[in-house]
Amino acid sequence: MRAMSTADDTSLGELLAATVPMVRTLGLQYLETTPERAVLSLPDQADYHNHVGGPHAGAMFTLAESASGAIVLAAFGDQLSRAVPLPVTAGIAFKKIARGAVTATATLGRPAADIVAELDAGARPEFPVHVAITREDGAVTGEMDIVWTLRPND
């Protein structure tokens, strides 16, 4: 797989929906997927509401983790022949009550070129991805910080 660009938003989203059943289950929508930023949305769905009528924490975690995975694939898809991307750790903070549709925006915490240079040097690079979860009025309802690695293939 090569690095994805904005023109490939649909194909990357279709690929992930085809290979990651939870993406299909939640009906996640890929709005933007570039090596610099990935934006996904979770539609408002009563089946996934919590006790206060907003999206369940597990659904928001999956949305944010999926956004982080999308940016990782967009940034490092051209490295898949020699390394597999894997999440290492993830933490989420819930800031405000979310209601309605929510959107997750993921950004890389380090330049992709630096990460690839570590891989070139024989290391197993780790790198952070930050995800902001917002509701329709723009308020940040949650934040996820997830560390990914590119594990070299044997």
Residue ranges per structural domain of the chain: 6-152
Partners of residue 28 on adjacent β-strands: none
Task: Inform me whether the pLDDT recorded for 19 exceeds 50.
Answer: yes
Q: 79-137 pLDDT, tens per residue?
A: 999 999 999 999 999 999 999 999 999 999 999 999 999 999 999 999 999 999 999 99
pLDDT confidence of residue 10:
53
* Percent of the chain whose pLDDT exceeds 90: 82
CATH code for residues 6-152:
3.10.129.10
> 45 versus 15: which is more confidently predicted?
45
- The pLDDT of residue 61: 97
**Dihedral of the CA atoms 133, 135, 137, 141 (nearest 10)?**
-60
Which residues have CB under 8 Å from 129's CB, separation 6+?
A: 68, 71, 72, 106, 107, 108, 109, 145, 146, 147, 148
- Does the model's pTM come out above 0.75? yes
